[in-house]
Copies of this chain bind each other. A is one copy, B any other.
């Protein structure tokens, strides 16, 4: 999608340097900066420090990270280096199932390749992961568009009001996004839309990333605090919630950014459809329910402080709490399947009870 009127992606191979470049999402929306991934360490750090974030993009970065880890290794050491790279990458974000899927996929491709072809097989596999993500985002957009078209027809006037939480946008994917893919598809189809953007504390991915991409793409939107969605839904100001997911259990329990569960409760209480848009690779069929999803606890300073643009135009952090106060910071919560109206996947729109049909 566009930044400054020009098409961008979140991750790409840089032919001049031979590295993999990524858009640094930690300094958005105030600055547009690119960071080079040159080896396993820089790829792992980019995932860990959230230079890149979002399930699909983490998967793509992990795929390239596997290649970066083996590209300069002697061919007879590639399998061992891949095993080590998988261990390092998997440890960066324990909740992200796409990460584990991507590293497993590349490792298997390397293991299956003949000697002499292993490094090339790693790159080919990383590229396929990117191509798959692009295709999935496009298909999620098509399936979600049908939902939005129905709502617009039923509403019979006025913009379709969509609420989203965190950033499951193109910045979380390679392009188009997951939760935003139906929004961009609807925009392209000429359907009037307005998006309520949850700011999504503590890291404010909504206020900084979703608002940025909607703004650059020209989609009408308003940023709201995470507290506001319940009020909006009680007053008929939301037609549809679309969120992403970091991991979904086989029964449809969905782990997503902390606070998603609260919005799902409000949607349920007010009869607003609550949908989760995701590539099917985010579904962990080995987990029967969401109780088994590990929820990472992150640095409390993400709560105690916040990043923004200072009056002089520079960016940095300000302290919000008393010096003496402690904070706690869980990254995700689990929305029970009973609160999810539908999953919008690249293979269609499914009720939680239908997820099992996606099992390969």
The answer, yes or no, to whether A225 is at the interface (CB within 8 Å) is yes
Contact of A231 among B30, B202, B258 (CB under 8 A): B258
Q: Give the nearest-CB partner of A302 in chain B.
A: B225
A223 touches B325 (CB 8 A): yes
B319 touches A309 (CB 8 A): yes
**Interface majority SS (helix, strand, loop, mixed), chain A:** mixed
- Copies of this chain present in the complex amount to 2
Collect the chain B residues with CB atoms within 8 Å of residue A307's CB. 318
Of A60-68, A168-176, A204-212, A280-288, the one with at least 4 CB within 8 A of chain B = A204-212
The answer, yes or no, to whether A347 is at the interface (CB within 8 Å) is no
Of A103-111, A180-188, A261-269, the one with at least 4 CB within 8 A of chain B = A261-269
Q: Give the nearest-CB partner of A339 in chain B.
A: B269
A227 touches B201 (CB 8 A): yes
Collect the chain B residues with CB atoms within 8 Å of residue A266's CB. 261-262, 265
Contact of A225 among B303, B308, B332 (CB under 8 A): B303
Q: Give the nearest-CB partner of A317 in chain B.
A: B311
Within 8 A of B (CB), among A118-165: none
Sample (27) of A-B pairs whose CB atoms are under 8 Å apart: A29-B322, A30-B319, A199-B321, A201-B225, A202-B225, A207-B303, A208-B320, A221-B325, A221-B326, A222-B325, A223-B304, A223-B325, A223-B326, A223-B327, A225-B226, A225-B259, A230-B333, A231-B258, A234-B333, A265-B266, A306-B306, A306-B308, A306-B320, A307-B318, A309-B319, A316-B318, A318-B318
Identify the A interface with B (CB < 8 A). 29-30, 196-197, 199-202, 204, 207-208, 211-212, 214-215, 221-231, 234, 257-259, 261-263, 265-266, 269, 295, 303-311, 316-322, 324-330, 332-334
